Structure formats: C-alpha cells, structure tokens
Amino acid sequence: MSDLAAVQLGLDTFGDVTRDADGNLLSDAETIRNVVEQAVLADEVGLSFFGVGEHHRREFAISSPEIVLAAAAARTTGIHLGTAVTVLSSDDPVRVYERFATLDAISHGRAEVILGRGSFIESFPLFGYDLRDYETLFEEKLELFSHLLEERPVTWQGTLRAPLTGADVFPKTENGLRAWVGVGGSPESVVRAARYGFGLMLAIIGGPADRFRPFAELYRRSLPTFGHEPQPIGVHSPGHVAETDQQAWEEAYEGFAAMNNTIGRERGWPPYSRMRFQRDVGPEGALYVGSPETVARKIADTVLTLGVQRFDMKFSTGTLSHQHLMSSIELYGSRVAPLVRDMLS
C-alpha cells in the first residue's frame, strides 16, 4: 500500500442551523445536540477526524467548539477531535491552549487545534478587537501559542497583549498537542505555518484543487529552511454523499444556495444558481457532492494532485437536514473511505 493510500479522511461542521421535517428551523440547542450525534456516528464508521468550526452569527449554532468536542470525546473512542477553525485573532492564546489541553485529557490524547483568522469578522467587535489590527493580532498570537505548545514557562512580549514573564500554563498534556494553521490561499500564510512547524490545512472552497499545488509545494520547501521536519498537509472542502449523484445534488442544492445567498448579500456576490452548482460539483469545482464513487474519485484526485495526508469534508452546509447529514456520514465512512484507499493503493 502506498503512503497516499493511508490518507486520513475526516469531517468538518460549522453547526449550521438546519430544518426539521416540516421545514422549521431547529433551535440552536437541538442543532448542537445533533452535532454530538454526528461525531459519534463518524467515530463508529471509522473516520479519522471530526472538526467543529467557531462562529458568532445566527446561521451557525456553535460558538464554543471545545465544549461540543468535550461532549463528543466522552462518547467516542478513536476519532480525533478538533476545530475548523479556532479564530485565534479574537481569542487569548493562553486560554486556547488551556481549553485544548483539557480536551486532550478528556479524549485520551485525541485533541487537535486548527488555528486561523476565520472567514467572518463578527468575533472582533464582539470581543473588543480592532479590525485595523487584523494582521498583527494573528501574527503575535500565533507566535505566543507556538511557545505555549512547548509546555515550559513562557517569557514573551508583543504589542497588543500584556507580556508574560516565566508564565507556566496548565494543564500539561501527556504527549503534546497537534496544531495546524488553516489557510485560504495566500503565500504569506503558507510560509507562516511552515515557520512555526504547524500542519497546513488548505481551505479549498472554490475552484479546482490543482490551483493550490503551488501552496503545497511552497510549504514543503519552506519547512526545512526553518529547521522543521516534514509536517502533514490537509484539505478542507464542502461536500455531501448520497446513493446517487442525482440524489446528492437534489438534497444538497437548497442548503448550498441558501448559505451562498446569505453570505453573498453581505459580500456583493451574484445570486447562486443551478448552473453554478453543477459547475461546482464537477471536476473543476470545489464541491464533493455525489454518489460514493463520484466523491471518492474526486477526493483521490485531490490527494494525488496535492500529495496531502488528510481530507476533511465539510459535510454540513446551510439547512441540509440532520437526517441527510447522518446518511452522508454513514456513506462517507463505510463506502467513500474504502474506495479512496483502493484508488490510491
């Protein structure tokens, strides 16, 4: 079996608020409980990772991922649990480390943290941060977090946070904590991840995977220049699995359209359409939507193109129902994952 055939397959969710059988929006509370059930199923079907994103807006129920992940940790045994992503810029690195070290203890070493700046800005005014400091906040906090991962007393000084002098932070983990940086596609972000020796998670939410090949190659070249051993590269992309392509498209379209139009109204995007959707689910698009065979083939192509070690499918988008999400998880673990490994072996 080749190294690529050992690729890890995971799932990500933002806790999108979904609808019930009558078309009514679920409460945030029920959505969160459903996410825990989704994590349990992901573990049962043998997937490698379950990631929960942090947001602070009405479309997404989860603003405290670590609490949801701790609930999942108590009911799972093998799957790794982490964020997708933790918005480090508007959080405190010490508190982030403490929360994930605690999650690592509860899960017996299965915690991971994916750090990023996030694609939404609501957390900045909510927690009193100035968007004019957007770049500096992330750079300084990422540097501090890298020191905290060494689990030794930290002396550090930046410009936007009180300095630390010999600060020791608890709890300690048993075997360290894996950290990644989520990157949307800028060379500077790729080099930053390499500088700290963190894993690289490429968020590919538009266009073909091939256009991210230069970023993967830049990351691999950069790691040794900073004195680091090879680190994993992962991909995060939206998707949905059903028995047939047509069924998957019909189930997924409304949710994808609703989410794109909601965000599009804020950002000046044109209305989403069936034509756009069919392009996005095609070979040159970033949506992994279709039958197990179709989705597996597209994932295998992405793994081969970029040489990645993990693929995380963002399985919840918009108002796609909990029932359909559970079916997608089942098919992803029981049929897509084995097909991907067969195609790559």
Residue-wise pLDDT tens digits, 268-307: 999 999 999 999 999 999 999 999 999 999 999 999 999 9
89: helix, strand or coil: helix
Q: What is residue 1's predicted lDDT score, i.e. its pLDDT? A: 41
CB atoms within 10 A of CB 224: 11
245 band by pLDDT with thresholds 50, 70 and 90: very high
Count how many domains the chain has. Answer: 1
Average pLDDT, the chain: 96
Q: Say yes or no to pLDDT of 2 above 70.
A: no
Residue-wise pLDDT tens digits, 14-42: 999 999 888 899 999 999 999 999 999 99
10: helix, strand or coil: strand
CATH of the domain at 28: 3.20.20.30
Comparing C-alpha atoms, which of 48, 47, 72, 59 is closest to residue 15?
Answer: 59
Specify the residue for token string 């800005």. 121
The answer to whether 114 and 86 are in contact (CB under 8 A) is yes
307's tokens: 């040489």
Section 75-87 average pLDDT: 97
**Helix ranges, 74-176 (H):** 93-106, 123-126, 134-148
Separation of alpha carbons 180 and 197, rounded Å: 9
Tell me which residue range forms the domain holding 246.
4-344
Separation of alpha carbons 151 and 111, rounded Å: 16
Burial class (CB in 10 A: 0-12, 13-18, 19+), 262: middle
Section 145-158 average pLDDT: 98
Comparing C-alpha atoms, which of 69, 36, 46 is closest to residue 325?
Answer: 36
Q: Say yes or no to pLDDT of 48 above 60.
A: yes
Separation of alpha carbons 99 and 114, rounded Å: 13
End-to-end alpha carbon distance in the chain: 5
Q: Say yes or no to pLDDT of 8 above 50.
A: yes
Q: Say yes or no to pLDDT of 184 above 70.
A: yes
104's tokens: 């690592």
The answer to whether 100 and 68 are in contact (CB under 8 A) is no
